[in-house]
Structure 1
């Protein structure tokens, strides 16, 4: 091979790959090879300590795609091959096979010959070719002998032999690819077998999602994104994914959106796609490698969350009332922050988040005003308008601090009132001086319980 296979595999072992990653890669390869009939057969065994705990030990995938033609065979032997780059192929996916399985046997019939490849970490580019006349093309890839990274003494990361779960993971991981192929008019049937149990994914079962487009401006450039989504009733896990080249790459979590949907007994599946993400996905397809000068991933994720929040609010109009309630509760808690709370532009609001962002904005404003005031003091000559603006800002901040003090003083008064109503003994216990754990009698090392409890 045009690179040391063992070294290439070692680089992928640093990634947190799923046990099913070889399945995702091989299914994608089959579809890229124009296969429309794909069969996957899983072999399983029970865990030594629990006969009812069945785990996948190997699997075989058979398809009727183009097979190992001269061009495809040369691509397989070349690291970072540009072959099928337009389809999103990185030329390295096969190395993830050997992270999970020690041996992969490839047998391909292209109509005129049979091509056999024993792919493992010691692979030395040996490809066996022998004449074999057949009327149909067929490729069979067998994955055997789970690596010690996934199965060894005290370690068992193998997938459970649960066909429903495996099918769900395939649909989730390849959702965008399957949808895009269906949208192009491609027909396909992918069948899965575990023992006598069989299930399938076919073109007619792919549900078309809704979508929303948005633009992210950055450094005088505009980046286009499309968000595909679908709501489901009932309890389920929100599945939010950043995708590249038709494949899911990175999970995105939003506790805020999740909590709101859980309250509605609903969940959402959403996928974000973009040429920008296609061009920045890393070789493992589990993360993005974005240069320091480019649009940051955190900005993409923020737009992703904001767009999802708008979609959720459009679907559940009563969330506007919940937002109003959160604003009222936050202002009642900290009235001196009311202007910052009212100016909060988050789509879905909670009292906690409103107060957190308001306190942050308040502190930033204070620091900005302090700096402006210091700068004005050291200047020999200050324009009247600038001077008046600085004084107005200082006065405004002082007013906010006074309001905060009054609110705090009111809490103390209310606390004292409760103590008085509790009787003399309660008042004595709360007001008496207490020693710190260290036992020092220094007044500075003692606490005033009333203030510590208010």
Structure 2
């Protein structure tokens, strides 16, 4: 080392300062870190010794009079603290074991969490066995005290005794023996599940064989590999999938978990319940994944307590691991997939616009839905987003192929794709349209049944049906043409531009003072083959409460409609509500009157008095009034509903709408 004026120019550090800056905050897991480091040293020592027998590591838990943990004794059958190992022990941040992940700081955890570490190690110096004994304490001038070296008959091995656990860690240290055993198992999973290597025992009021304890909890296992692209490079990783009893569920993550291993030791954990769609497995089981790879070996922190890699990079690894785990857990995730499939089918039924997107329902669930997608709204968002992206992709491809084709073949392909896309979109729009109609028909069916069963409060119950077809007080200036359901009565009615609902005749007829209010009137049909204002039929619609049976001569719906026609016809001009249109009623102008009412005995008596004829199906009545040039038809609610069902069934069947 270079000197100047007899003074060394090298940097120095103190043990006390190094321990103060050692990042090991008190926690249940960190309170056992010194034990983990001792076991790790034991594993290295055993691998360094050629042995014909079965090696083992024994961990004894020492408790105080209250039952709290106060220390540990760790014994192994390894090579012992040879001269080379002891030289390394005496160097902080030694690189002696760097090739297998050793950071040269493990023994510092002894003094970070305990007041005293006592070591007794038997080793072979080449000629004979010797026992090296000493105390390791926090002392900058002489941390190794009472060092002795005596001859022994062997065999080799090391005993580390950890005394006087510091209060901050003692408070956090697990109390239950089972928790300590499981914590050690989780930390050394790779060694515990391996049939090779030493047996590990924990003595705490009873002997626990860690290999047997964990082996008995394993339901199934599988080894696999996966790749993750990190930056510009693709890295390979191995993963061991385990399904175990819930006794080995991670106490911190509290859900299915992936452990990240560096040089065989757990240095990180990530909950993956959200990624695989299952926080816990059914039947009291839990999932554990063990991920290993050179990338993790090279990015573990010096203290081996965490990964030094950016968390976003670790996220990439965990996502790929979770994807692999999903395949392993197919039988466990199947109930989730089944529920997703049910929701997808329901969305397809209710929103046929997505028929193309969901043509392969099972494929969509498997390839497009994360297992974490659990509720109907989230599934709908996923379906909508996939529909939008697919449509944009197709539209861009078509525009490029049609506007700037590279050759004739590309143009033809783009044209074919355009035709296919238009056909799919048209079918989707039709499906949406027809489905909305189906909902209205079903609602009308239930509404009619409910009104028939309700008390005989004529106006309010009649009004409910009225509002479903066309809301009261609505007219062509305050409601959009597409928002009413006039098609229920007649498919031609939605094409009328001007309509009024429950408005006085004085507001519909110029210079009229008639306060009577027809339920619905329509005039001036909208057609590309007709000009508005031409002599098209006028429409009058009257609703009567489903099931009503108290009609009389003063409350005669046929007479009521004909009187409306007479008032409109009497040389009058009809006008729209906003005054933007008016039309004279010509002598040859036709009127159609629709009376929507159940044919009950009192109504049948009235319609027969009007000499109305039965319709061919025998369910309704009709008559043409010569003097008023008006067709009148009485349509029962059941017939109205059935006619709509028959009219739409072909669409329902073709589109697969049930």
TM-score of the two chains, using structure 1 as the length reference:
0.69
Q: In 2 relative to 1, CA 18–406 (structure 1 residues): closer, same or farther, beyond 3 Å?
A: farther
Structure 2 residue corresponding to 1:211, chosen from 207, 223, 237: 223
Q: Which has the higher contact order (CA 8 A, sep 6+)?
A: 1
TM superposition shift of 1:230: 2.6
2:173 to 141, 149, 158: 158
* 2:209 partner SS: strand
Cα shift at 1:234: 7.1
Is 1:63 matched up with 2:76? yes
Q: Which of residues 137, 149, 161 is equivalent to 1:119? A: 137
- Report if aligned partners of 2:259, 2:266 keep a CA contact under 8 Å in 1: yes
Alpha carbons 1:116, 1:127 under 8 Å: kept: yes
In structure 2, relative to structure 1, the CA distance for the partners of 1:193 and 1:232 (3 Å cut) is: closer
Cα RMSD after superposing both structures: 4.9
**Residue 301 of structure 2 corresponds to which residue in structure 1?**
282
Q: Distance in 2 between matches of 1:127 and 1:33?
A: 21
What's the secondary structure of 1:289's corresponding residue?
coil
Deviations 1:270-321 (A, max 9, x none): 21222221221222333222259xx811111111111111111156766653
The worse-fitting range, judged by mean Cα deviation, of 355-364 and 127-136 is 355-364
Which residue of the partner structure matches residue 311 of structure 1?
328
* Structure 1 Cα separation of the partners of residues 434 and 133 of structure 2: 83
- Deviation string 1:411-431 (CA, Å, 9 cap, x unpaired) is 99999999998998xx9xxxx
Closer/same/farther in 2, CA of residues 280 and 95 from structure 1, 3 Å limit: same
**Larger Rg belongs to:** 2
Structure 2 residues without counterparts, runs of 5 or longer: 1-10, 50-54, 124-128, 250-255, 396-402, 406-410, 455-459, 464-658
Contact in 2 for aligned 1:330/1:351 (Cα 8 Å): no
Alignment of 1:377-396 (within 5 A): none
Q: Which residue of 2 aligns with 1:440?
A: none
Q: Which residue of 2 aligns with 1:42?
A: 61
1:13 corresponds in structure 2 to 24
Cα distance, 1:206 vs. partner? 5.4
- Equivalent of residue 93 in structure 1, options 95, 106, 109: 106
Question: In 2 relative to 1, CA 82–324 (structure 1 residues): closer, same or farther, beyond 3 Å?
Answer: same
The residue matched to 2:68 in structure 1 has which SS?
strand
Q: SS of the residue aligned with 2:168? A: coil
Alpha carbons of 1:401 and 1:254: their partners in 2 closer, same or farther (altered >3 Å)?
farther
Q: CA offsets, 1:23-76, max 9 Å, x none?
A: 1111111111117233322221365xxxxxx32111122223222222112222
- CA shift in 2, pair 1:218/1:333, >3 Å: farther
Aligned 8 A contact 2:57 2:74 in 1:
yes
Distance 2:246 2:168 in 1: 37
What is aligned with 2:290? 271
Q: Bigger CA drift: 335-344 or 24-33?
A: 335-344
Query: Which residue of the other structure, out of 223, 227, 231, is the alignment partner of 2:235?
Result: 223
Q: CA deviation at 1:101?
A: 1.9
> What is the Cα deviation at residue 366 of structure 1?
7.1
The aligned runs of 1:307-386 (5 Å cut-off) are 307-313=324-330, 320-329=337-346, 331=348, 339=357, 343=364, 345=367, 349=371, 352=374, 355-356=377-378, 359=381
Q: Confirm or deny: 8 A CA contact 1:174 1:246 kept in the other structure.
A: yes
Instruction: Please report how far the alpha carbon of residue 407 of structure 1 lies from its aligned counterpart in structure 2 after TM superposition.
Output: 10
Cα offset, 1:144, TM superposition: 2.0
C-alpha separation in 2, matches of 1:405 and 1:281? 60
* Pairing of 1:159-238 with structure 2 (within 5 A): 159-160=174-175, 162-180=176-194, 182-183=195-196, 186=197, 188-194=198-204, 196-201=205-210, 209-219=221-231, 221-232=233-244, 237=249, 238=256
Q: Distance in 2 between matches of 1:406 and 1:114?
A: 89
2:81 counterpart of 1:72 = no
Contact 1:112/1:132, CA 8 A, preserved across alignment: yes
Q: Do the aligned partners of residues 357 and 216 (structure 1) sit closer, same or farther apart at CA in structure 2, a change above 3 Å counting?
A: farther
CA distance in structure 2 between the aligned counterparts of 1:97 and 1:106, rounded to whole angstroms: 11
Query: What is the CA-CA distance between 1:343 and the residue it aligns to?
Result: 4.6
Match of 2:313 among 264, 286, 296: 296
Describe the superposition over 1:165-222 as per-residue Cα deviations: whole angstroms up to 9, x where unpaired. 3222212210113445x44xx3x2333223x422233589858942112222445533
Using the alignment, how far apart are the partners of 2:307 and 2:227 within structure 1? 19
State the shift of 1:119 in Å.
2.9
Give, in angstroms, the shift of residue 354 of structure 1: 7.4
Determine the C-alpha separation between the residues in 1 that align with 2:440 and 2:141.
79
Name the SS of the counterpart of 1:287 in structure 2. Answer: coil
Conserved? CA contact 1:79–1:92, under 8 Å: yes
Structure 1 residue 115, shift from structure 2 partner: 3.6
Distance across 2 between alignment mates of 1:318 and 1:272: 26
Distance across 2 between alignment mates of 1:409 and 1:103: 82
The TM-score with structure 2 as length reference comes to 0.50
Structure 1: which 5+ residue stretches go unaligned?
A: 48-53, 374-381, 428-454
**Residues in 2 aligned to 1:408 and 1:147: alpha-carbon distance in whole angstroms:** 72
| Contact persistence 2:26–2:168 (CA under 8 A) | no
Task: Check conservation: 2:57, 2:199, Cα contact below 8 A.
Answer: yes
Question: For the Cα contact (< 8 Å) 1:330–1:352, is it kept in 2?
Answer: no
Question: Is 1:25 matched up with 2:37?
Answer: yes
CA distance in 1, matches of 2:364, 2:310: 34
* Aligned counterparts of 1:234 and 1:138: Cα–Cα separation in 2: 35
**For residues 43 and 105 of structure 1, what CA distance do their matches in structure 2 show?**
14
SS in 2 for 1:13: coil
For 1:225 and 1:18, locate their aligned partners in 2 and report how far apart those are by CA, in whole Å.
Answer: 27
What SS does the corresponding residue of 1:89 show, helix, strand or coil?
A: coil
Alpha-carbon spacing, 1:220–1:55, altered in 2? closer, same or farther (3 Å): same
Equivalent-residue separation in structure 1 for 2:440 and 2:65 (angstroms): 65
SS at match of 1:133: strand
CA–CA distance in structure 1, aligned partners of residues 350 and 321 of structure 2: 31
Kindly state the Cα deviation for residue 365 of structure 1 after the two structures are TM-superposed. 8.9
